[in-house]
């Protein structure tokens, strides 16, 4: 009889273990915790399993029939001792791990997460050409992507554009790329065997969007529901790895990939989040390969939030944890917001650096390589980004345009904020450049070339640069048409000569003679080398 009773208890234990395992598999399938002590989700996962098993044991082993508290406690210790002990050990590990990860006792380690080297802006950040300046922000890119999708009659009823829009360098051009996604679960069922047929690529300079059709569709995406979901495919291939958000990129041949950075904790058990390599997943085949040395075509491994967090540790704890909130000597932090710029084939994140006690101006800025995390600091006192945006909006306030978050460019060896000015519909109407150090120096233009030309002339007037665009080019002729207009509070004269079919624009502030010109006079105009229907000039003489 005892053997029969013992056999029944073993059977109930096995059934409880099986049910616990099944519940754990379902939880694991949907929540995808890493089997890793550095992943806080792992502790929740194990506590859930232990709780389920203990509940089943209490319900099936007759523990609730105990007549006294002593009997109940004795039965619980007998049937639940192992999971309770393991949970207690994990709780102790969690508490100790949290303590030894604290910045209070590990401030120096947090400070050393990011190596920051000082650089010289004028010599190290070269002036880039027009075909390298990304003029679209993510919101504008999304509008173009949606517009392009609407043009694809054979796809628009089944697919939508995903919201990834990763900025990368592709064939030496700054572009944003994003995959398609299934319109809904029914369209997923109808199309999943072929996969997603294309991805969208948007040139951030020409503002052209193109749908790149694939011979074989993308089977592995972030919008899949089951095993071909990127996160789930990663988890079952790398059960112990902790991953950051996967980024969509294309290689030099245009093959789509998911770049999946591996997260490690370098301080204690939970502190000092960093990246150690990445898994590259082919979006078509699902083939995965882990790299510690990332291939050069990959542009985005370190998310901007990780670099910003690590610089904030560097800036806050350089003189210890106590100084970070008492005294705060030389404590600096990043400003709100960031942007990206392409330099020598890599994508760099830009953000300003400000004093922790004064966030109205910057003391410098950093450029961080998003593939290698190489970070350089450039000392430059000037305006915070949002002040520059307000300054740019101020020169066109009557149009109520809104500035995008600025890019940082080198214009005539001057650190310069460059931004687009958008109307209420989100369309780019103008461009603006604002000097970082003297943010009252603002120039705008309806084209990038015009904006830069106006900005360089403004720098020249302030003795900050020599306007290279202003050459010794001159034109002579009779004035056949002349008009005036007030732009940004200054009177500008528009002059057309009998020898030309375009107008020269001269500010009266630059050349007082322009104010007394009249039709029929012969003049000599000192102009620029620009082209178009409106061409800048900086001086005019009346010929006798």
Tens-digit pLDDT profile for residues 156-208 = 889 999 988 999 999 888 899 999 999 888 999 999 899 999 999 998 888 88
Is the model more confident about 486 or about 353?
353
pLDDT for residue 61: 65
Strand-pair partners of 279 = 260, 290
pLDDT for residue 308: 95
Instruction: List CB contacts of 212: < 8 A, sequence separation 6 or more.
Output: 198, 199, 200, 201, 254
User: pLDDT per residue over 212-240, tens digit each?
Assistant: 999 999 999 998 989 999 999 999 999 99
The answer to whether 56 touches 43, Cβ cutoff 8 Å, is no
Cβ neighbourhood burial of 94 (10 Å; 0-12, 13-18, 19+):
middle
pLDDT for residue 456: 84
Backbone angles phi, psi at 42, to 5 degrees: -65, -35
Assess whether pLDDT exceeds 70 at residue 4. Answer: no
pLDDT for residue 470: 47
Location of structure tokens 């010599």: 123
Assess whether pLDDT exceeds 60 at residue 105. Answer: yes
The least confident of 97-101, 307-311, 356-360, 424-428 is 356-360
Backbone angles phi, psi at 419, to 5 degrees: -150, 155
Structure tokens, 288: 């995965």
Assess whether pLDDT exceeds 80 at residue 3. Answer: no
d(CA 383, CA 13): 68
d(CA 350, CA 295): 22
Categorize the per-residue pLDDT at 469 as very low, low, confident or very high, splitting at 50, 70 and 90: very low
pLDDT for residue 74: 67
pLDDT for residue 448: 82
303 closest CA partner among 379, 394, 369? 369
Looking at every residue in the chain, the average pLDDT score rounds to: 87
Structure tokens, 260: 């999946």
Question: Could you tell me the maximum CA-CA distance found in the chain, to the nearest angstrom?
Answer: 129
d(CA 102, CA 272): 9
Percent of the chain at pLDDT exceeding 70: 91
d(CA 504, CA 476): 12
pLDDT for residue 359: 66
The answer to whether 418 touches 406, Cβ cutoff 8 Å, is yes
The answer to whether 379 touches 363, Cβ cutoff 8 Å, is yes
d(CA 201, CA 207): 10
pLDDT for residue 23: 94
- Domain extents for the chain? 2-100, 106-131+316-381, 134-291, 385-461, 474-542
pLDDT for residue 524: 87
Assess whether pLDDT exceeds 90 at residue 377. Answer: yes
Assess whether pLDDT exceeds 80 at residue 145. Answer: yes
User: pLDDT per residue over 35-76, tens digit each?
Assistant: 999 999 999 999 999 989 888 887 776 655 555 556 556 666
User: pLDDT per residue over 109-134, tens digit each?
Assistant: 999 999 999 988 877 877 776 667 78
Structure tokens, 194: 């072929």
Long-range contacts of range 161-164, CB-CB < 8 Å, 24 or more positions apart? 161/200, 162/221, 162/222, 162/223, 162/248, 164/222, 164/247, 164/248
| Mean pLDDT value across residues 388-409 | 89
Structure tokens, 368: 């961080």
Location of structure tokens 């917001």: 337
408, HSE (Cβ side, Cα atoms, 13 Å): 29
CA angle at 120 for the pair 114 and 123, rounded to the nearest 5° = 130
**Calculated CA dihedral for residues 223, 229, 230, 233, nearest 10 degrees:** 180
Structure tokens, 182: 């299934």
368, HSE (Cβ side, Cα atoms, 13 Å): 27
Winning range, highest mean pLDDT, from 136-150, 227-241, 348-362, 467-481:
227-241
How many angstroms separate the first and last alpha carbons of the chain?
Answer: 129
Identify the CATH class of 474-542. mainly beta
Location of structure tokens 């620029």: 528
Strand-pair partners of 271 = 267
pLDDT for residue 411: 86
Backbone angles phi, psi at 22, to 5 degrees: -65, -45
d(CA 38, CA 268): 9
User: pLDDT per residue over 75-89, tens digit each?
Assistant: 666 677 888 888 999
pLDDT for residue 269: 93
Q: How many CB atoms lie within 10 A of CB 271?
A: 20
Categorize the per-residue pLDDT at 1 as very low, low, confident or very high, splitting at 50, 70 and 90: very low
d(CA 485, CA 478): 21
Structure tokens, 464: 């900050």
User: pLDDT per residue over 261-309, tens digit each?
Assistant: 999 999 999 999 999 999 999 999 999 999 999 999 999 999 999 999 9
Strand-pair partners of 243 = 262
User: pLDDT per residue over 419-445, tens digit each?
Assistant: 999 988 888 889 999 999 888 899 998
């Amino acid at each position: 009889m005892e053997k029969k009773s013992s056999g029944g208890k073993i059977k109930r234990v096995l059934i409880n273990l099986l049910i616990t395992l099944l519940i754990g598999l379902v939880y694991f399938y949907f929540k995808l915790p890493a089997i890793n002590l550095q992943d806080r989700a792992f502790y929740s996962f194990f506590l859930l399993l232990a709780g389920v098993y203990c509940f089943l044991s209490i319900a099936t082993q007759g523990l609730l029939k105990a007549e006294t508290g002593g009997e109940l406690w004795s039965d619980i210790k007998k049937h639940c001792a192992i999971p309770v002990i393991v949970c207690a050990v994990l709780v102790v590990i969690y508490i100790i791990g949290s303590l030894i990860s604290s910045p209070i006792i590990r401030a120096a380690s947090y400070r050393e997460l990011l190596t920051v080297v000082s650089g010289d802006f004028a010599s190290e950040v070269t002036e880039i050409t027009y075909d390298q300046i990304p003029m679209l922000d993510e919101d504008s890119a999304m509008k173009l992507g949606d517009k392009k999708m609407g043009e694809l009659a054979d796809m628009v009823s089944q697919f939508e554009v995903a919201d990834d829009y990763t900025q990368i360098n592709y064939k030496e051009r700054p572009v944003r790329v994003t995959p398609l996604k299934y319109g809904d679960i029914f369209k997923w069922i109808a199309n999943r065997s072929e996969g997603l047929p294309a991805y969208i690529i948007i040139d951030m300079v020409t503002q052209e969007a193109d749908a790149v059709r694939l011979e074989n569709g993308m089977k592995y995406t972030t919008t899949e529901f089951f095993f071909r979901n990127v996160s789930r495919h990663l988890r079952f291939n790398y059960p112990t790895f902790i991953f950051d958000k996967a980024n969509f990129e294309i290689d030099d041949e245009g093959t789509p990939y998911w770049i999946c950075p591996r997260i490690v904790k370098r301080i204690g058990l939970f502190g000092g989040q960093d990246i150690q390599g990445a898994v590259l997943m082919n979006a078509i085949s699902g083939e995965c390969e882990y790299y510690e040395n990332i291939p050069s075509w990959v542009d985005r491994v370190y998310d901007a939030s990780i670099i910003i967090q690590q610089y904030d540790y560097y800036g806050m704890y350089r003189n210890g944890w106590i100084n970070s909130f008492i005294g705060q000597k030389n404590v600096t932090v990043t400003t709100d917001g960031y942007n990206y710029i392409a330099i020598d084939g890599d994508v760099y994140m830009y953000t300003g650096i400000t004093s922790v006690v004064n966030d109205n101006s910057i003391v410098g800025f950093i450029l961080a390589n998003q593939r290698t995390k190489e970070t350089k600091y450039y000392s430059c006192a000037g305006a915070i980004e949002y002040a520059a945006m307000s300054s740019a909006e101020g020169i066109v306030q009557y149009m109520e345009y809104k500035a995008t978050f600025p890019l940082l460019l080198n214009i005539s060896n001057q650190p310069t904020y460059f931004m687009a000015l958008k109307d209420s519909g989100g369309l780019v109407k103008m461009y603006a450049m604002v000097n970082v150090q003297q943010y009252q120096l603002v120039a705008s233009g309806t084209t990038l070339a015009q904006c830069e030309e106006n900005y360089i002339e403004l720098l020249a007037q302030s003795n900050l640069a020599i306007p290279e665009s202003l050459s010794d080019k001159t034109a002579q002729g009779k004035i056949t048409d002349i008009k005036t207009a007030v732009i940004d509070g200054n009177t500008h004269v528009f002059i057309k000569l009998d020898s030309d079919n375009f107008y020269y624009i001269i500010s009266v502030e630059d050349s007082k003679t322009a104010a007394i010109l009249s039709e029929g006079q012969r003049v000599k105009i000192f102009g620029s080398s620009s082209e178009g229907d409106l061409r800048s000039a900086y001086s005019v003489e009346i010929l006798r």
